[in-house]
Chain A
Amino acid sequence: MDLHLDPDELNACVQCGLCLPHCPTYRVSGDETLSPRGRIQLMREVQLRGAPVTVEVRASFETCVQCRGCEPACPSGVPYGHLIEKTRETLAREAPGSTRWSRLLLAPLGRPGLLRLGSSALAVAARLRLAPKRFGVPTSLPVRRRPHTTSGDDVYLFTGCVMDAWQRDVHIAGQRVIEAAGFGVTPTGDAAPCCGALHSHAGLTDTTRRFAENMIAALRVDDRPILVDSAGCGAAMKDYGRLLGTREADAFSARVFDIQEWLALHVDRLPVVEPLDLTVAVQDPCHLRHVQRVHEATRIVLAPMVRDLVELDDEGLCCGAGGAYSLLQPELAGEIRGRKLGSIARAAPDVVASANPGCSMHLGAAGVATMHPMELIARALDVSPARTPAAPPPR
């Protein structure tokens, strides 16, 4: 089968294997079929040598979390993300049946009203213990949400789909922090309902393109920065330029910033606060660290806000959340999370800071206390009286 992969991209891998230990599925399975090098080799077998797409081959592609931990590890710069995305796109088109679960799961994302309604129903169900356990629905899902308010037009805050329905408090905290740095914020709300990241992971790239075009049109009003507090969404929106291949899309992507990334540029405008009395471990979402590669910003903005900021010892290995991955591949997702839990236990933090809703829910379902960096900063700001200078040094 022609997977429609770029021959040069496919040929770029020299099989050195240096990506293997950075791949969560290889790590937990010890099986090269579930490794980046193995998957690239299978793509070659299928595209270049006509190997049939058997159940095994399909499983290898479908178990990829698309964390892209293999990319920064690859000294040859193999664009693995493109390769797997294209592979999944082709497979989804050739065998639409294989994506029915993801289609069903992702259907509500572009319809914010429906999604909120459904989420509230799910929240009630979770409280009444009616939701299937396998879904790991947190009992903390909100039944009601505080409304968004616009405070100015310096920046957009992208609110998105699931996150707005499930974790709107994070947006509100983010807005509070950006305002404290002296900027007026416009939450995008239903004007830009979904970025389409999960769709492109599932191979439904056409939907992503449609969402991208809608969003670019909706936020065309002026060229103010668009801040994103979900790492997965930010990575997808920064990729619109490549996805659509238009100058307008390029210009749009250049306006997209991860909220920590942007705050780090303006961190001196935040008031000096009394650090929260907490040990906080930074868990880098893959799409922040491996794709956007702006994870240092999280440290810059958090360090002044908490007593101890500690690192995990797994070099940013994926936690297994992967968008809808934890629902579609629960077994592997659980094993991958197991490694992350070990790493968290060794760091022994009071709370884990994670800048991606998927990661925090996946870890939260295993009993880890997680907070978004923005929630931590907002709390630090609330505890300290605003704009008090730091306590004078002891004489």
Chain B
Amino acid sequence: MRIRESFTPWRRRVVDPLVADLRAALSVDRVRIDGAERALMARDASVFAGGVAGPTCFPVSTAEVQAIMGIAAAHGRAIVPRGAGTGLAGGAIPLGAPIVVSTGKMNRILEVDTANRVAWVEPGVINLDLTTHLTPVGFHFAPDPSSQSVCTLGGNVANNSGGPHCLAYGVTDAHVLAVEVVSADGEVLMLGGLDAEPAGLDLRGAFVGGEGTLGIATRIAVRLTKNAPAVRTLLLSFATVRDAAETVSAIIAAGIVPAALEVMDQRITVAVENFVGAGYPTDAAAVLLAEVEGLAAGVDIDAARIDEIGRANGATGVRLAGTEHERALLWKGRKTAFGAIAQLAPDYYLHDTVVPRSALADVLEQVYEIAERHDLVVMNVFHAGDGNLHPLLLFDAREEGTLERVHAAGAEIVRASLAAGGVLSGEHGIGVEKQRFMGELFTDDDLDHQARLRHAFDPACRANPGKVLPSGHSCADIQALHEVPTGVWG
């Protein structure tokens, strides 16, 4: 569609040299400056309200991304890469009126090489689209965030995203062989390679999880995973959350490596069941979704053992998904869990911390206790197999003072996880959300090294400034933010 421009009352924006340069490099309709349109770009799926987005660009090629980076540098402006905007840590929100670079139109699957189990994709390809594309040839892309039907591979790489099935297969980092990157000064770099052991430093590894602060990924070589010949999915119900958590530890201790182990507590199970009608028991205090993959004979044995271990640890019911349809519905329920929340409250704050598996049950109890103390409703849904907790705090931001309570409770939850020997983020990234906790996990020395790595890629701090590293360790970031006179885009 061609969107014609409105001329009133923005005559000055037509002469804005930055916009003129961007439009000359791309096209008029792929550089958006409408106020309300830019307001969209100020948010992602997190609770954080960003600053004001500058012009929003929709490049279609590496060369165009390069041109945008060059123009940004020439005008002294920062850029923020944006995939589908499903990030939960505010990684894609603009701080200080940067140019937003959306990868929405860079969504081609360029090459699939099943012999070498690798595919080249553009960064805007939707995670599930790649897997659907590969289904006829019997492969898939293993990392499966719950947002996989929406989120982009560029976003997955930037956040090093995980998903239920990363328990057995590893997170995004393990599935990215090479990344073509346009750095902040407009240079095109190829990080990593298709060889088993690429020579030199593993800069690819540094880029994965860089949250857009190291440049923009413009092409990605991903590893393809062969579909398992057989899958068994079990749904176990429990009378207490503790029983569910202990079953998880017992399954792993028994030497079984399930493809996925997911727990949901009662409140969230009720909301999910209301949406999908998959037959989740709404009277159980917690449910455990366990999946095993492999050869048919093996998965039957594993499924039987999980059944046995579950019952020994207090499972009140065990159900084996009988058909592919039933299995798909169960997963649909799990994967839409966060979205189903709005049935209960208009806002939620989703946390993401990791604790040692053995501490799961204890930390969960603390989470419930913290929420109660702050007079908040909390729900728990988590990747139990790797101790990745996702407590969700429900609230209505329109009620005065709630947001403060939510943030206070959130901070306590993060600290409780750290105290139990955990880490800050399992998969959602640091973004603007967890910056202030970085100092509690890392020493000043660690942070300085991280800042130096970042400056090696981006000395002027123009790529997604103000994210990840706390301000004391990224002074140049702050400088980049302040270069823009506030109100230019207001």
Contact = CB atoms under 8 A, between A and B. Distances in A.
A16 interface: yes
Interface stretch (B1-9, B109-117, B223-231, B446-454): B1-9
A19 B336 CA distance: 11
Among B5, B36, B45, B102, residue most surrounded by chain A Cβ atoms (within 10 Å):
B36
Interface stretch (B194-202, B249-257, B340-348, B383-391): B340-348
Contacts of A308: none
Interface residues of A, number: 40
A43 B158 CA distance: 30
A33 B6 contact: no
A32 B104 contact: yes
Contacts of A51: 35-36, 39
Contacts of B338: 16, 75
A14 B41 CA distance: 15
Interface string A310-330: 000100000000000000010
A57 B36 contact: yes
Contacts of A313: 132
B39 A41 contact: yes
Given A16-B339, A17-B150, A55 B6 contact: yes
A107 to B, nearest CB: 26
A45 B39 contact: yes
Interface in B108-153: 124, 126, 128-129, 132, 147, 149-151
B339 A76 contact: yes
A140 interface: no
Number of chain B interface residues as a range: 35 or more
A209 to B, nearest CB: 30
Nearest to A40: B40
A225 interface: no
A12 interface: yes
A49 B43 CA distance: 15
Main secondary structure of the interface of B (DSSP, over half): loop
B45 A33 contact: no
Given A31-B105, A74-B339, A38 B1 contact: no
B34 A56 contact: yes
B128 A21 contact: yes
Contacts of A143: none
A376 to B, nearest CB: 25
B237 interface: no
A56 B36 contact: yes
A388 interface: no
A63 B341 CA distance: 29
Contacts of A14: 45, 339, 341-342, 346-348
Interface of B: 1-6, 32, 34-37, 39-41, 43-45, 58, 84-86, 102-107, 124, 126, 128-129, 132, 147, 149-151, 272, 275, 336-343, 346-348, 398
Nearest 7 interchain pairs by C-beta: A30-B104, A76-B342, A75-B339, A56-B34, A75-B340, A75-B336, A55-B6
27 contacts: A14-B45, A14-B346, A15-B43, A15-B45, A16-B147, A17-B150, A18-B149, A21-B150, A33-B40, A42-B37, A46-B36, A49-B39, A51-B35, A51-B39, A52-B35, A55-B6, A56-B3, A56-B32, A56-B36, A57-B36, A75-B336, A75-B340, A75-B342, A75-B343, A76-B339, A76-B340, A77-B275
Given A31-B102, A56-B36, 5 more contacts: A29-B105, A30-B124, A32-B41, A52-B36, A77-B275
